[in-house]
Amino acid sequence: MKLTRRETLALGLAATTVTVLPFRAVAAAEDQIAAFTGGADIGSGDITLTAPEIAENGNTVPIGVEAPGAVSIMVLAMGNPNPDVGTFNFGPLAGSQSASTRIRLAGTQDVLAIAKMGDGSFIQTSSTVKVTIGGCGG
């Protein structure tokens, strides 16, 4: 099979596009969001996501979420191979709709928090975290 110069270039381009994997992760994140909200619109409101601006070690990044009146809060790391981080469901005895934990981040990326409110609406916020050393074993 003979390839012209033009065809070779096109092939190279196609290969580069395939290797740009983050697109897949973003699609997975969108699926997760759709599964959580059921396709409802997400507004903004009284939700706080506390995350460091710069995290030296992506293996343990301390984050905190707070959304007064929320039933549950989902946290997503948009740049991770698997964007899902976890969901906090608050019960009747929760003192406040807030929680903090430590998460893994594969690299510099946006962390997203979506809260489901008591009235069924959804609000979100996001925060960019710069990661010096990624937390995915690489």
**Residue type at position 58:** G
- Strand-pairing partners, residue 40, are none
Shortest Cβ distance from residue 3 to another protein (Å)? 32
**Can residue 50 be called a binding residue for another protein (CB under 8 A)?**
no
Q: Indicate which single residue of 3, 27, 43, 60 sits in contact with another protein (rule: CB under 8 A).
A: 60
Q: Is 21 exposed, middle or buried (0-12, 13-18, 19+ CB in 10 A)?
A: exposed
Contact segment (CB under 8 A) with another protein among 4-12, 40-48, 93-101, 115-123 equals 93-101
- CB atoms under 10 Å from CB of 44, counted, come to 8
**Can residue 103 be called a binding residue for another protein (CB under 8 A)?**
yes
**Can residue 70 be called a binding residue for another protein (CB under 8 A)?**
no
**Can residue 109 be called a binding residue for another protein (CB under 8 A)?**
no
**Can residue 92 be called a binding residue for another protein (CB under 8 A)?**
yes
d(C-alpha 97, C-alpha 2), whole Å: 64
Under a CB-based contact definition with an 8 Å cutoff, are residues 86 and 72 in contact? no
**Can residue 104 be called a binding residue for another protein (CB under 8 A)?**
yes
Residue 64's closest CA among 41, 85, 38, 45? Answer: 85
Shortest Cβ distance from residue 41 to another protein (Å)? 23
Nearer to another protein, 73 or 123 (CB): 73
Shortest Cβ distance from residue 72 to another protein (Å)? 8
**Residue type at position 124:** Q
**Can residue 61 be called a binding residue for another protein (CB under 8 A)?**
yes
